[in-house]
Amino acid sequence: MALKKPIVNVDGISQAAKTYDPQLRALPYVKLNDVAGILRLNIQEVENEDVVTTLQRKAGATGPYKPGMLIDYQEEMMKFFEATLKPVLTVAKSKDNISLYTDKKILTLAGKAVDNKTKNHPLEMLIVNNSIISHAEDVVYSLFFAERDESVFSPMTAFDGFFTKLDVFTTAGLISTGNKNLKISGAFADPTTETDYSAYDSLVDWLGDAHSSLRTSQGGAPLLTCAQTVIKAARAALRLRLKMTEYPTVARLLECLREDAFIPGLEFNTHEAVGKGSKLMLHKPGLFDIGFNTQVAAQFCQVRAIFEDPNDMQFWIQAAYDTRIQDINPKVFYTNEQTNTAMNLAGDY
């Protein structure tokens, strides 16, 4: 006969959190690693700060020569682009009241009702583990959209996401049509008539205007990071253009884009974390980084009995996160003017 798991008090939960702390610290990495694998993101633990410096050469120093000619020297030979990954502190905080479980039968207690007189919490590590999983999901679905704001408490204000980093580069003029790493595309919407091919044609046009080095597979196959809404709209438009009765497969759509935009190695790169909308990013693999640090607190996850009400206890998770785009040179990166809307898929309610 299996032994029944006893009710564990606050001190017991605190001790369990300490005991399992090394494993608990790994949970956010496990969750982040799922989306990183799908979107080809780099994920690394950063203690303080990590800087990637990219050297960019200037062309145009070559020309004709004859004796006695006036020589105009090019003074700038190269420049450096620095991208910093510096995780900032975040917390996930919640509290629970033991009295909420009075007269309820808890699954982890084999259906026994909770005895509120003991001031013991019935759920032990269940709350701790699920709190960390929810915290990790909050981070995942904020990766592109979050903008650090210490005056507002929300997953979307915990750190700066990829789209926020792009906004900073655009405001600074580093991403622009003049720099050839930005091209206006307009929105991608489902066809409205039987001859509306614009979603497909606009995507081909946008892809075809990317830098020739980016369109080749040298340095890695080019990845089109976008929401599924773009793929669906382009697929619907391609169906009409090809006069098909059935929708072409995503593989057929990709094949046509490769041919028509002259990007033979093109791959789709999509996930729910990118949200909904018409934002496009064409880039080489390995350009996007996620930095995290679960070592910023002596105890990553804590359970505290610090409230005036003896029935209250606090669950506290502390970690640090940041994102980075290593380079925005048009040879490796290219985007459009559109914006996406986040999909809040964290948790169950």
The per-residue DSSP string of 274-295 comes to G-EE--EEEE-TT-EEEEEES-
* 333 to 214, 251, 281, 319: CA distances (angstroms): 7, 23, 7, 30
Give 314's strand partners.
95, 304
| Per-residue b or e along 13-39, where b marks 16 or more CB atoms closer than 10 Å to that residue's CB | bbebbbebbeebbebbbebbeebbeeb
> Encoding tokens for residue 298?
């002596």
Closest to 90 (Cα-Cα) out of 166, 142, 21:
142
pLDDT over 80 at 134, yes or no: yes
Lowest mean pLDDT among 20-29, 218-227, 335-344: 20-29
Task: Give yes or no for a contact between 305 and 29, defined as CB atoms under 8 angstroms apart.
Answer: no
pTM, two decimals, is 0.83
pLDDT over 50 at 298, yes or no: yes
9-29: average pLDDT: 64
Residue that is written with structure tokens 């006969």 in the block: 1
Task: Give yes or no for a contact between 159 and 87, defined as CB atoms under 8 angstroms apart.
Answer: yes
pLDDT of residue 47: 84
pLDDT of residue 230: 98
DSSP 89: E
Lowest mean pLDDT among 112-116, 153-157, 270-274, 321-325: 112-116
Task: Give yes or no for a contact between 12 and 305, defined as CB atoms under 8 angstroms apart.
Answer: no
pLDDT of residue 163: 98
Closest to 227 (Cα-Cα) out of 319, 339, 87:
339
> Encoding tokens for residue 115?
């005895």
Residue 298, φ and ψ in degrees, nearest 5: -55, -35
Task: Give yes or no for a contact between 21 and 295, defined as CB atoms under 8 angstroms apart.
Answer: no
What number of other Cβ atoms are within 10 A of residue 348's Cβ? 7
Give 334's strand partners.
282
